């Protein structure tokens, strides 16, 4: 580990001296699950039998790509959702509709104001196609041309196609040393956890409000005793929470992550 870290920082210092970028960007994915953890549930105080809450979709995730700049600001949110697979067994790996659109005027205003970017695939995980078709054009649109992009060694980041398209767009980049993300990736260490905690708080507050005011919100599981099912938040609400978390995070927190 120490040898890998030393080699990485030598490469980083050499790259910075050579390129002299105006801004250094760090991108990383954050997985968000809208479930109560196994340590928590929701019930009226004094109830003798406490049930477990679940949406029934414990493995369904929303992925948020956070890109932070050394100047102390964040690029607009970039998130993608998991869409349902068609019943036809011959379906392709790419959904017929990769974009996420809204007819609601309020959501259109929020998206325009926040410049949030969205897409969807069958897994909810980042992959080469999302990097090539969606993230790289997004990065080019919102970043300083004289910049350096730092990312970890996820397969979607360092695939031959991704690296080729980065070079085609003149995007200078530097992968982290393997297995060093918890030590030297600012977004992972100091920013992603803050944004994720904010979104989790909004979700829990939403659950409590629904529990108190919507009698149809939670239902007993048809087969499992002491288990309750609730409907997961929709895409529009999730986007609102992500935008709110971005608006609440301050420049001091971003700079304090030592980007």
Task: Tell me the pLDDT tens digit for each residue of 72-89.
Answer: 999 999 999 998 888 776
Reply yes or no on whether the pLDDT at 9 is more than 70.
yes
Pick the CATH number of 2-256 from 1.10.1040.10, 3.30.70.141, 3.30.110.30, 3.30.420.10: 3.30.420.10
pLDDT value at position 222? 63
User: What is this structure's pTM?
Assistant: 0.86
Question: Is 123 a residue whose pLDDT tops 60?
Answer: yes
Which of the four pLDDT bands, split at 50, 70 and 90, describes residue 49?
A: very low
Domains in the chain: boundaries: 2-256
Query: What distance in Å separates the CA atoms of residue 218 and residue 210, rounded to the nearest whole number?
Result: 8
| 255 touches 69 (CB < 8 A) | no
Tell which wins on pLDDT, 181 or 156. 156
Average pLDDT rounded to a whole number, residues 199-221: 84
């Amino acid at each position: 580990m120490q040898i890998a870290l030393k080699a990485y920082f030598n490469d980083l210092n050499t790259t910075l001296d050579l390129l002299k970028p105006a801004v250094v960007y760090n991108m990383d994915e954050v997985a968000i699950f809208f479930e109560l953890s196994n340590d928590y549930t929701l019930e009226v105080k004094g109830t003798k039998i406490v049930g477990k809450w679940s949406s029934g979709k414990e493995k369904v995730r929303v992925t948020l790509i956070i890109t932070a700049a050394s100047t102390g600001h964040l690029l607009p949110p970039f998130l993608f959702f998991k869409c349902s697979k068609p019943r036809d067994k011959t379906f392709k790996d790419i959904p017929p509709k990769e974009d996420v659109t809204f007819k609601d005027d309020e959501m259109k205003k929020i998206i325009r104001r926040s410049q949030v970017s969205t897409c969807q695939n069958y897994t909810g995980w980042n992959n080469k196609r999302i990097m090539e078709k969606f993230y790289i054009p997004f990065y080019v649109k919102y970043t300083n041309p004289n910049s350096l992009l730092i990312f970890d060694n996820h397969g979607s980041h360092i695939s031959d196609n991704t690296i080729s398209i980065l070079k085609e767009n003149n995007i200078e980049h530097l992968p982290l040393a393997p297995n060093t993300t918890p030590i030297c990736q600012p977004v992972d260490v100091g920013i992603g956890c803050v944004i994720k905690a904010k979104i989790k708080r909004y979700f829990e507050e939403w659950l409590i409000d629904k529990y108190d005011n919507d009698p149809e919100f939670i239902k007993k599981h048809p087969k499992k005793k002491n288990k309750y099912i609730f409907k997961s938040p929709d895409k529009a609400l999730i986007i609102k929470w992500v935008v709110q978390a971005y608006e609440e995070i301050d420049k001091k927190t971003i700079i304090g992550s030592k980007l």
